[in-house]
Chain A
Amino acid sequence: MNNTLSTSLNKSASSQTIRLPDFSGSHLAKRYASERRFRILGIASVGVAGIILLILLSSIVSKGYSAFWLHKVELNITFSAEVLNPDGSTLEEVKLKQANYLALIHNALKEKFPAAVGNRRKIRMLYGMIAPKADLVLRDMVLSNPSLIGTTKKVLLKLSDDWDSLSKGFINRDLPESDRRIKDLEINWHDQLQSEGHIHSVFNADFFTTGDSRNPEEAGIYSSLIGSILTLTVTLLISFPLGVMSAIYLEEFAPNNRFIDFIEININNLAAVPSVVFGVLGLAVFLNFFGLPRSAPLVGGLVLALMTLPTIIIAARSALKAVSPSIREAALSLGASPLQVVTHHVLPMAMPGILSGTIIGMAQALGETAPLLMIGMVAFIVDIPRTFTDPATVMSVQVYIWSDSPERAFVERTSAGIMVLLGFLVLMNAAAILLRKRFEFRW
């Protein structure tokens, strides 16, 4: 045997030179170096992904954190009777509602900066300090307490968005005056007010309690939050039962034939159809064919339900598959009908998995934007939606709308909106993970 091996070796040696193992180690060192390089490349790509995530989050936070605060100026407002009640007759509520509260603010400003009086350009600048609709604060004060009339009181009033940016230090003072939205005179006034301690930084509660507005200082996320909740309610009510039922059928009862194969391929494909196509579907079917109202959470919820259905079906099927067959066999042997096996035993055991899959599907739906643009949810909605057919918008679309606005203060609002949106996503995903960890049955 030894002989035959050596002859065959000799034979091949005659046709080609034998490559001897490299014992010098130089080749080996090269191979090890390439091994190290490969490894570093691997860890570097994971690192790059992590760094990008960090950059993304920190850029959002650094742009958006300031939107949770805003600045107010303290003014000595004189609720003078001449302004509020010019004809001197008895005060009625209707009259107080229509009185000129803006004049009170303007008087206070003129009193504070008498130098500006007489110059129309300066006066306009001065009036621009206060946010529009700040007079409504005064109106509410007077309406709730009419005895204020005739007195003077210190009142905190919201600064306009440009002044707020100045207070937050976002205005570059080194730029030439013509390139700035805030002029030198305004900066002087601002610095004077600040050094006198009249400018206060307060929590921006309005951001969480109001709807959209053309003025960034008035714009809030609340109406779109309610819109999101309404929309997701519709989505959940439709996609959860439908998804679970079709998963049960496909996993537990479906015969093994071509038609069922077709359904399965279809579901997998549907999961990868671009979301914008679902928007077109919603437009053509729900709006044009069924005549449902535009911009309504009902339609948005329907479209998102069709989108999340495949996700829920796939998650529910894998949860059902994970339940051990022994459970089914035991139940069947005790005389349960196939449906009883599923509803009494398999489904309860699979429920944590199904629910966590559903929550992840809902989280996707919460962040979805493109299909909703097509069914009119991109409208400018100030009112808080109350029902499923009111015009509404959702948080992700609100972010998109704000990102389109040029004002500096809207960039801030956009990032803050994103932070709220991401907060909800984190909560939902944490709930899904918790559910899976706490309740999932391990075999």
Chain B
Amino acid sequence: MHTSIVVIGLIGFATIGYTIGRARAIMTVGGIVKDLHSIPSYYGYYTAIWIGVPSLVMLVIWLIVQPHVIDEVVMSDLPVSITQNLSTSEYSLLLNNIHNTANGSIFSRRNDPNIIAAAKQVNSLRQISFMLMASTVFCVGVSGLIFARNRISPVMRARNIVEKIINFILIISSLIAILTTLGIVVSLMFESVIFFTKIPLHEFLFGLNWSPQIAIHAEQVGASGAFGAVPLFAGTLLITFIAMLVAVPIGLMSAIYMAEYAKPRFRAFAKPMLEVLAGIPTVVYGFFAATTVAPAFRIAVQESVGLNTSSESALAAGVVMGIMIIPFVSSLSDDVIKAVPHSLRDGSYGLGATKSETIRLVVMPAALPGIVGALLLAVSRAIGETMIVVMAAGLTSNLTFNPFEAVTTVTVQIVTLLAGDQEFDSAKTLSAFALGMILFLITFALNLLALRVVRKYREHYE
């Protein structure tokens, strides 16, 4: 909260700087504005930038460095007897204790006087650091103001400078997307590589047994620590397949109906309805699957076949996921079908084909590449969907293609392995990163392929 006060103060300071710069520029020409190179407000922006940007950079650097410096100081001030011979994990545990005590957290009622002293020291250091930070940032801002104010003169090309800076900021912000992708790849890669030094890649990709619990002692039951991901891939594929079985016919047929048959009034009602289906959060679908669809299926199966099924089944998760994807399929294919040129339809009608024959024999084949692209995107979405499967598909890995049994998926395992407390040196946690890597690569490839197919298709008719 302290930091936000500093930020707000900075914004205020920069605003004041704007008026100072503006007034200064007008003063240099004695109030005859046309003698200035740029409009006065650009001199104001120039000053505000000189105040805001350096001090903001200073602030960010300070915030990144500060915790590390404080930790170093506190740990070096602790009696040597405590800090000696600590492994990295014990070291971080100790640090965590100190931090929790310093924050007054209820979870750390430790009465170790050393820790309490250290926590007090942390708090006082934080306070000192905050005061130092505020004054340093302010000083940087003031020097920026003085520098900018001295440089303002009638011949200074303030507009060009300001526009150059803004252009630079625009470029930086469009690079964020690349940075995000890079961040994803690097963070996944980093932990995955460590994982694959513990578990060989072929065992992970082709092993048939998934049970990521690592045994604490040798005879522990059910903790074999097997990392064969094939059951997860199979479960993901099974659920995706069921989802596509639901989504493709319904989505495609509604798209065809909306694009070719529906009158504007029907469209005006039906399109928003499908959009509502798309706007419902996945956690709601998950709840629906777990509390309404799964019990309904279980009862139906028990009464018709007499089979006893588990309360969590691939079928319920798959069907609800299919429902979620319907609007996705239908809106993408709707666009694709509409992009088919009208001349093709007219030609078909001219030869005496009925509307449905035209659609099936002319429009669909012409739209096929685009529809394939849309379906690939839908598959990628189904593979990456998480909440529905977490809530309705189950946790136990199960190499089966029986839709009435519980299966688990890649995303479920990532969530269960990473939600909660993790230790970053165990293969169990690291395996989630390897799974994330696989998931990212597969969906990335699917998306790339789909986007390329759709783009090619569009160019074909444009």
- A positions within 8 Å CB-CB of B: 31-32, 34-35, 37-39, 41-46, 48-50, 52-53, 55-56, 59-60, 63, 241-242, 245-246, 248-250, 253-254, 262-263, 265-270, 272-281, 283-285, 288-291, 306, 309-310, 313, 337-339, 363-364, 366-370, 373-374, 376, 378, 387-389, 396-397, 399-400, 403, 411, 414-415, 418, 421-422, 425, 429
- Give, as a whole number of angstroms, the nearest-CB distance from B278 to chain A: 10
Check A270 against B180 for contact (C-beta < 8 Å).
yes
- Give, as a whole number of angstroms, the nearest-CB distance from A106 to chain B: 30
**With an 8 A cutoff between CB atoms, is B64 at the interface?**
yes
- Give, as a whole number of angstroms, the nearest-CB distance from A324 to chain B: 20
Q: Which residues of A contact B305 (CB under 8 A)?
A: none
Task: Render B351-386 as a binary contact track against A, CB cut-off 8 A, 1 for contact.
Answer: 000111101100000000000000001001101111
- B positions within 8 Å CB-CB of A: 1, 4, 64, 67, 159, 163, 166-167, 169-171, 173-178, 180-181, 183-184, 187-188, 190-191, 249-254, 256-258, 260-262, 270, 273-274, 276-277, 279-288, 290-292, 323, 326-327, 330, 354-357, 359-360, 377, 380-381, 383-387, 390-391, 411, 414-415, 418-420, 424, 432-433, 436, 439-440, 443-444, 447-448, 451
Chain A contact residues, majority secondary structure:
helix
**Quick one: given A46-B257, A280-B418, A363-B279, are A265 and B451 in contact (CB under 8 Å)?**
yes
Of all chain B residues, the one with the shortest Cβ separation from A369 is B283
Check A38 against B432 for contact (C-beta < 8 Å).
no
**Quick one: given A269-B448, A269-B451, are A39 and B356 in contact (CB under 8 Å)?**
yes
Check A277 against B436 for contact (C-beta < 8 Å).
yes
**Quick one: given A269-B181, A373-B419, are A35 and B282 in contact (CB under 8 Å)?**
no
Q: Which residues of B contact A285 (CB under 8 A)?
A: 183, 187
Check B288 against A267 for contact (C-beta < 8 Å).
no
Check A284 against B190 for contact (C-beta < 8 Å).
yes
Check A32 against B283 for contact (C-beta < 8 Å).
no
Check B170 against A274 for contact (C-beta < 8 Å).
no
Could you say which of B190, B256, B433 contacts A42, with CB atoms under 8 Å apart? B256
**Quick one: given A272-B447, A274-B384, are A400 and B391 in contact (CB under 8 Å)?**
yes
- Give, as a whole number of angstroms, the nearest-CB distance from A20 to chain B: 14
Which one of B175, B260, B292, B357 has the highest number of Cβ atoms from chain A below 10 Å of its Cβ?
B292
Complex CA distance for A170 and B301, rounded to whole angstroms: 26
**Quick one: given A284-B433, A370-B411, are A263 and B181 in contact (CB under 8 Å)?**
no
Q: Which residues of B contact A310 (CB under 8 A)?
A: 177
Complex CA distance for A289 and B68, rounded to whole angstroms: 12
Q: Which residues of A contact B270 (CB under 8 A)?
A: 46, 50
Check B187 against A280 for contact (C-beta < 8 Å).
yes
Which one of B174, B277, B282 has the highest number of Cβ atoms from chain A below 10 Å of its Cβ?
B174
Check B254 against A45 for contact (C-beta < 8 Å).
yes
Check B415 against A374 for contact (C-beta < 8 Å).
yes
Of all chain A residues, the one with the shortest Cβ separation from B377 is A272
Of all chain A residues, the one with the shortest Cβ separation from B284 is A418
Complex CA distance for A52 and B326, rounded to whole angstroms: 11
- Give, as a whole number of angstroms, the nearest-CB distance from B159 to chain A: 7
Complex CA distance for A63 and B288, rounded to whole angstroms: 11
- A sample of 18 more A-B contacts (CB under 8 A), given A49-B277, A273-B184, is A39-B261, A42-B253, A45-B253, A49-B327, A274-B384, A276-B411, A276-B439, A277-B384, A279-B414, A279-B415, A280-B432, A281-B180, A339-B166, A363-B279, A367-B279, A370-B386, A370-B415, A378-B419
Complex CA distance for A284 and B356, rounded to whole angstroms: 53
Check A59 against B257 for contact (C-beta < 8 Å).
no
Complex CA distance for A268 and B448, rounded to whole angstroms: 9
Of all chain A residues, the one with the shortest Cβ separation from B271 is A46
Q: Which residues of B contact A338 (CB under 8 A)?
A: 163
Q: Which residues of B contact A366 (CB under 8 A)?
A: 281
Rank and list the top 10 A-B pairs by shortest CB-CB distance, nearest first: A274-B384, A367-B281, A42-B257, A246-B174, A284-B187, A38-B356, A45-B253, A370-B386, A249-B170, A245-B173
